[in-house]
Structure 1
Amino acid sequence: MTAPKTTAPKKLFVRTYGCQMNVYDSERMTAALAAQGYAATGTPEDADLVLLNTCHIREKAAEKVYSEIGRLKRLKAARPGMAIGVAGCVAQAEGAEMLSRAPAVDFVVGPQAYHRLPALLDRVGRGERPVETEFPEEDKFEHLPADRRARRAPAAFLTVQEGCDKFCAFCVVPYTRGAEVSRPAGRIEAEARDLVARGVVEITLLGQNVNAYRDGEGVTLAALLRRLARIEGLERLRYTTSHPNDMADDLIEAHALEPKLMPYLHLPVQAGSDRVLKAMNRRHTAAGYLRLIERIRAARPDMALSGDFIVGFPGETEADFAETLALVEAVGYAQAYSFAYSSRPGTPAADRRQVAEAEKSDRLRRLQALLARQQAAFQASLVGRTLPVLLEKPGREPGQVAGRSPYLNAVHLEADPALLGRIVPARILAAGPNSLAGALAA
């Protein structure tokens, strides 16, 4: 008797650039394509479909995508039938132009249309090169399936809000992600419960302006956090990225009252000069930001703060930059991200008079030196303390595991791999530039 023929699953390779929201979107797209017969693979060399989920925040990030397409073009030439798709914010911003610039690309899809991937692939199969960058009325989250793969990591991202209404002069997000939209709290809770049922103990809520979250029933981010905190088995909650203008009183209070909400907050300020902040259309002042930090630390004295900074914004003077350094000194950051300004086409600041590249580089060097000293000081302040550490994955050394402290520090220690996924007490023995060394506490 002849055995029935079986069809091997098509293979999908996804490369993700940029923010945590792109990581989350890639998981959802992988789940959507699994229903179409695609199995994930870890390398593009044996993939039938390569999907690049792109970021458009910085110019070099976009150029990296085109460099990757160039490499894939050679691979595709040797693999007839292989398809290449570009998703994410570069796809949204460049649309049909990307097909002209990169003939190896078969389709382009923006962040709001991922639920249309099966239909796009059907069109590719018919010889078309579709571009889908509209902002459809339907909610992509309502149509995209949850990631149902067996999870190994005990920490997960969960998008609750998308888009931005702030229109900062340097930023493309309002144009690539659209207006602010908040998902219904009930759907978020259902997804969170599903994650916990599959072994997740820490969830980070994601949004371009996550603290602007407010669903159609009026549920705020603080109320959503309280609701999720009641889920049995969910031990830790985080959220990112926040805007200073949306840091409401009930959210600050939540940090004082909810023990599952971790003492780490990413709150970008971008600059310390009011003149530059106004030019950026940030709609807050340096003094207002510092008062906000005081209120947050009054609610949670051990709060570890992270921020974003742009140096060399058009029109920034040395005096303006000195005010940024002064603000950094006043706050004391546990971690921060800093960049020299690079213009993004289509944003208000792109056509303004630019600061010389040498000045940008010098200012960035000085700012990063200060931020590195502050991060080192924070890391050192944890030595000798016993912290609850969520063990997430095997470490690089034999017998080593890696985890995260409540303050989001990476912690490495020797432990039985059977403890992965659990929160254990760890005594911090030493601090490095980017991680801590610890030992299991008795």
Structure 2
Amino acid sequence: MAEALSFGCRLNAAESEAMRHLAERSGWAGALVVNTCAVTAEAEAQARQAIRRAARENPGRPILVTGCAAQIAPDTWAALPGVARVIGNGRKLDPMAWDAPPAPITVADPVVPAATAGTRAFLAVQQGCDHHCTFCVIPQGRGPSRGLPVAEAAREAAALAERHREIVLSGVDLASHPDLAGLIRAVLRAAPGLARLRLSSLDPAALDDRFWAVWAEEERLAPSLHLSIQHADDLVLKRMRRRHRHADLLALARRARDLRPGAALGGDLIAGFPTETEAQHAWLEAFIAEAGLAFLHVFPYSPRPGTPAARMPPTPVALRRDRAARLRAAGLRERARFLAGRLGAEEEVLMEGKGLGMTAHGAALRLSGAPDAPGTLLRARVTGTDGATLLGERV
């Protein structure tokens, strides 16, 4: 059986499961598919280490490499031990790329939906990015923005809802889908039995009035938003070439909670961006509590070759790591505060195995008593929290 290793975003996770099946159907039954990420140097290093380890532990096993890092520097990845083929991002979900001679690497092919098996499915509805943030190489790895047609997304969602209780709409820049609001409504109409629809990371600057109407009206849309924030200091945001500012983020947080009280907010943050001062970092750290960000993905800044930020005066590596740790600690404090606010509440929980499940807000909940099978949807009353996980009992 083919195996897939995925690094990076949820979109990669969705694609990796689809590629594993493609590899098996195309004569690569024993292959290892490695879906790389180029967001940070650490993500690239982890993928290289995984490839070298796989080649060392299982000599002769073919390794198929794809993803953003492989897209940007295919020759580098092709030279690693055990690598039989490098497949470009634009063709990695094309069956022909797996059993035919590899075509020239491209990133501008149409979006092809892909979903993982299990409790929840990830449905890719958008690819690429038209923005050029100074720290990011993703446009090089994923190409221009393009969206899956709404009707096709609805058909895919209807099929997935027959086997899954939750679907996550994913994309490189999901909020840039040409009709995200219409897509959400179409998916929910096409899958009336779907318990929960969740969204992957969203660009704060791209959320329009149509989106907020959907957010307010669609009860099966999970009451949680994960935002591509990156920073909260206006000068740093300008140097990042982001399209939002501090005031915009606070207004967004207020609007989200005014329309859906108790909504959970989270975001991606970069620590130690070039030129970031201690005061600017402190501003970002304070913003976590100010906006109530309970679920964070924190990345120490990683210079990406060829990007404008890589030419800016760098923040020392040790300081980047220290600031990242401080942001994570602030995020954990905010998560503990959010979870404490759920005490006594009844939650809809999607069980994932070993007594653990996830609430609609995206919080982990450990259920007392005998564990339920993964995919079980139940109601639980929150009886406690350990600061990172809710504790509950069946209602």
Q: Tell me the TM-score range normalised by the shorter chain.
A: over 0.9
Is it true that 1:135 corresponds to 2:107 in the alignment? yes
**Runs (5+) with no aligned partner, structure 1:** 1-10, 40-47, 124-129, 215-219, 396-400
Is it true that 1:339 corresponds to 2:318 in the alignment? no
Q: Deviations over 1:9-59 (max 9, x none)?
A: xx31211111111111012212323432555xxxxxxxx311111111110
Name the % identity: 34
Match of 1:176 in 2: 141
SS of the equivalent of 1:268 reads strand
Question: 1:408 pairs with 341, 362, 365, which one?
Answer: 362
CA spacing shift, 1:407–1:115, aligned 2, 3 Å: closer
What is the CA–CA distance in structure 1 between the aligned matches of 2:45 and 2:300, rounded to whole Å?
Answer: 17
CA spacing shift, 1:288–1:269, aligned 2, 3 Å: same
CA spacing shift, 1:332–1:417, aligned 2, 3 Å: closer
Judge conservation of contact 1:87–1:108 (CA < 8 Å) in 2. yes
Match of 2:264 in 1: 304
What is the CA–CA distance in structure 2 between the aligned matches of 1:411 and 1:322, rounded to whole Å?
Answer: 31
What is the CA–CA distance in structure 1 between the aligned matches of 2:160 and 2:68, rounded to whole Å?
Answer: 27
Match of 2:188 in 1: 229
CA spacing shift, 1:168–1:349, aligned 2, 3 Å: same
Shift of 1:361: 2.9
Question: 2:232 pairs with 272, 276, 281, which one?
Answer: 272
Match of 1:289 in 2: 249
Match of 1:50 in 2: 32
Judge conservation of contact 2:89–2:106 (CA < 8 Å) in 1. no
Amino acid at match of 1:33: A
Shift of 1:432: 2.2
CA spacing shift, 1:439–1:179, aligned 2, 3 Å: same
Amino acid at match of 1:31: H
Shift of 1:279: 0.3
What is the CA–CA distance in structure 1 between the aligned matches of 2:81 and 2:371, rounded to whole Å?
Answer: 47
Deviation larger for 369-378 or 27-36: 27-36
CA spacing shift, 1:415–1:212, aligned 2, 3 Å: farther
Q: Deviations over 1:414-434 (max 9, x none)?
A: 466666433211011221243
What is the CA–CA distance in structure 2 between the aligned matches of 1:50 and 1:177, rounded to whole Å?
Answer: 22
Amino acid at match of 1:12: A
What is the CA–CA distance in structure 2 between the aligned matches of 1:165 and 1:119, rounded to whole Å?
Answer: 26
Match of 2:90 in 1: 112
1:187-226 to 2 correspondences below 5 Å: 187-197=152-162, 199-214=163-178, 220-226=179-185
What is the CA–CA distance in structure 1 between the aligned matches of 2:315 and 2:258, rounded to whole Å?
Answer: 38
What is the CA–CA distance in structure 2 between the aligned matches of 1:248 and 1:118, rounded to whole Å?
Answer: 39
Amino acid at match of 1:175: Q
What is the CA–CA distance in structure 2 between the aligned matches of 1:67 and 1:361, rounded to whole Å?
Answer: 21
CA spacing shift, 1:131–1:430, aligned 2, 3 Å: farther
Shift of 1:121: 4.3
What is the CA–CA distance in structure 2 between the aligned matches of 1:366 and 1:68, rounded to whole Å?
Answer: 29
Amino acid at match of 2:268: D
Q: Deviations over 1:338-385 (max 9, x none)?
A: 122110112211122101223223322322222111111111211221
What is the CA–CA distance in structure 1 between the aligned matches of 2:144 and 2:322, rounded to whole Å?
Answer: 36
Is it true that 1:89 corresponds to 2:68 in the alignment? yes
Shift of 1:334: 1.6
Is it true that 1:157 corresponds to 2:116 in the alignment? no
What is the CA–CA distance in structure 2 between the aligned matches of 1:304 and 1:387, rounded to whole Å?
Answer: 13
Amino acid at match of 1:389: V
Question: 2:52 pairs with 67, 70, 78, which one?
Answer: 70
Question: 1:25 pairs with 8, 12, 15, which one?
Answer: 15
SS of the equivalent of 1:160 reads strand
Judge conservation of contact 2:332–2:388 (CA < 8 Å) in 1. no
Q: Deviations over 1:150-182 (max 9, x none)?
A: x5x332110111111111111111110111110
Judge conservation of contact 2:195–2:220 (CA < 8 Å) in 1. yes
SS of the equivalent of 1:421 reads coil
CA spacing shift, 1:417–1:318, aligned 2, 3 Å: closer
Deviation larger for 109-118 or 279-288: 109-118
Deviation larger for 411-420 or 85-94: 411-420
What is the CA–CA distance in structure 1 between the aligned matches of 2:141 and 2:387, rounded to whole Å?
Answer: 35
SS of the equivalent of 2:347 reads strand
Shift of 1:204: 0.8
What is the CA–CA distance in structure 1 between the aligned matches of 2:241 and 2:287, rounded to whole Å?
Answer: 18
Deviation larger for 364-373 or 309-318: 364-373
Judge conservation of contact 1:272–1:326 (CA < 8 Å) in 2. no
Amino acid at match of 1:167: H
Judge conservation of contact 2:22–2:98 (CA < 8 Å) in 1. no
What is the CA–CA distance in structure 1 between the aligned matches of 2:124 and 2:8, rounded to whole Å?
Answer: 15
Q: CA RMSD in A?
A: 2.1
Shift of 1:192: 0.7
Judge conservation of contact 1:391–1:422 (CA < 8 Å) in 2. yes
SS of the equivalent of 2:181 reads helix
Match of 2:198 in 1: 238
1:310-321 to 2 correspondences below 5 Å: 310-321=270-281
What is the CA–CA distance in structure 1 between the aligned matches of 2:110 and 2:254, rounded to whole Å?
Answer: 38
Judge conservation of contact 1:113–1:140 (CA < 8 Å) in 2. no
TM-score, normalising length from structure 1?
A: 0.84
Flag the structure with larger Rg.
1
**Runs (5+) with no aligned partner, structure 2:** none
Deviation larger for 177-186 or 246-255: 246-255
Shift of 1:232: 2.1
Match of 2:327 in 1: 367
Amino acid at match of 1:228: V
